[in-house]
Amino acid sequence: MAIVSINPATGETSKLIEPHDPAEIEQALAGASAAFDKHRVTPFAERAAKLRSTAEILEQTRHSLASIITTEMGKLLRDAVSEIDKCARCCRFYAENGEDYLREQAVPSDARRSVIRYQPLGIVLAIMPWNFPFWQVFRFAVPALMAGNVGLLKHASNVPQCALAIARIFRDAGFDEGVFQALLVENDAVENVIKDARVRAVTLTGSDRAGSAVAANAGRELKKCVLELGGSDPFIVTASADLEAAVCTGVKARMVNSGQSCIAAKRFLIFGEVYDEFVRRFVAEMQNLRIGDPLDEKTQVAPLASEPILRGVEEQVRKSVQAGARILCGGKRAGRRGFYFEPTVLADVPKSAPAYSEEVFGPVASMFRVRDLAEAAALANDSQFGLGASVWSRNEDEQEFFARELDTGMVFINAMVASDPRLPFGGVKRSGYGRELGAEGIREFTNVKTVYLA
């Protein structure tokens, strides 16, 4: 069955692509294995030069690449351009810093000399999502290739044109054939690829359910696995916060990518002293957002990526309201062609509601009133997820309290949670394990080898 590319703004099919058959999958694996034997011994300077070339291609073709993103998964065009530029920055960052992160480290011991070396593992299978179809791939691929590994990309089935474009970019940048390839396969073919002895590690960005399945398969094969999964990030606003900045950033943090982001703010925990004013301003901002064509510069709210995603968000809101939540604005599909959902704010969300315990992957914000620091931390941590958290406070003691007490992989103070090539990215609990980006990210798919000379 063909892999279908659908324009979320219109619901129309734009392209049909035949998936790779078993013979083509074997060819890709064999090519990757052969490419690794050569790529792993290339000098760091050569890999860095190819990453700089990759960055140049991305920047020179940013608008055409952004157009593919927008028409395939619905992202606002200006945001798609920014995504391409971020990928280029990631290439340059690891071109500059990758060798230092992987430099041999001498360690004092009883030996005449003892060192730690970071050596590449081999083929890394990447199972990537559609919501940031370039950035999610590049933040895995760039450090992995710089470390001397090779990559096989199993991208989300609704963004096949993005997958092919990314593979072409790495080839055009000078990486040898087989160093980075796109596997156009459905999910049922992934298990056999994980089982293949030539694949040495797996990375997945996606839902916690998908992460559990991949981790189980990788675990049976005793293969290294990095998982960046879902999130239900708290956005905490204390009485000392700059309320105007908190409201403005809070709307952006919830509406990034039309709410389809694992690190989007989803649960707003507002201290009682400022709750009413924050909610009033927040709802007004959400109601004023302009829904429209993602190619139009004036549009602020783009469609969701697919009809099933739209139905899922619609069902989560309906069940939350049935459980007792109140709709302050939005709450339904937008009355236009395409997969649009209105910017929505819920209040009085009970524990039994999906909006309390599940990740809502769409433009839906849930408001919670809290009394003090302890209640805010307890409510923030009362989640199966632990990816990021945003805290708004001008009090240093409050800032330190939340930085210490929140059970998340990242805490951003007076800023929205974001990924940055310089900083490790990842979570705890059902948000996954392992880290991407930073020094930690490039070392994830290396053999940390001890060399002891007596």
Looking at beta carbons, which pairs linking 297-300 to residues 24 or more positions away fall under 8 Å?
297/77, 297/78, 299/76, 300/76, 300/255
Determine whether 24 is an active site residue: no
Determine whether 162 is an active site residue: no
For the chain, how far is it from start to end, CA to CA, in angstroms?
60
Q: Are strands 388-392 and 385-386 parallel, antiparallel or unpaired?
A: unpaired
Instruction: Give the closest residue to 430 by CA, choosing from 289, 283, 229, 206.
Output: 229
| 450 burial via Cβ count (<10 Å: 0-12, 13-18, 19+) | exposed
Between the alpha carbon of residue 143 and those of residues 185, 297, 326, 355, the distances in Å are 24, 33, 45, 35
Instruction: Give the list of residues 6+ apart from residue 218 with CB closer than 8 angstroms, or none.
Output: 194, 202, 224, 225
Between the alpha carbon of residue 345 and those of residues 139, 225, 239, 384, the distances in Å are 32, 36, 21, 22
Residue 412 DSSP class: E
Total residues belonging to the chain: 454
Q: How many CA atoms lie within 13 A of 357 on its CB side?
A: 8
Query: Catalytic residue among 72, 83, 228, 342, which?
Result: 228
Q: Would you state the structure tokens that stand for residue 183, as one six-digit string?
A: 């596997």
Please give the angle made by the CA atoms of 22, 26 and 31, to the nearest 5 degrees. Answer: 150
Instruction: Give the closest residue to 261 by CA, choosing from 353, 391, 347, 359.
Output: 359
Query: Catalytic residue among 90, 91, 162, 262, which?
Result: 262
Which SS3 state, helix, strand or coil, does residue 69 take?
helix
Cα–Cα distance for residue pair 317/203, rounded to 1 Å: 31
Q: Would you state the structure tokens that stand for residue 263, as one six-digit string?
A: 């690190």
Cα–Cα distance for residue pair 178/30, rounded to 1 Å: 9
Q: How many CA atoms lie within 13 A of 363 on its CB side?
A: 32
Find the helix packing angle between 62-73 and 160-172, rounded to 10°.
Answer: 160
**Catalytic positions, please?**
228, 262
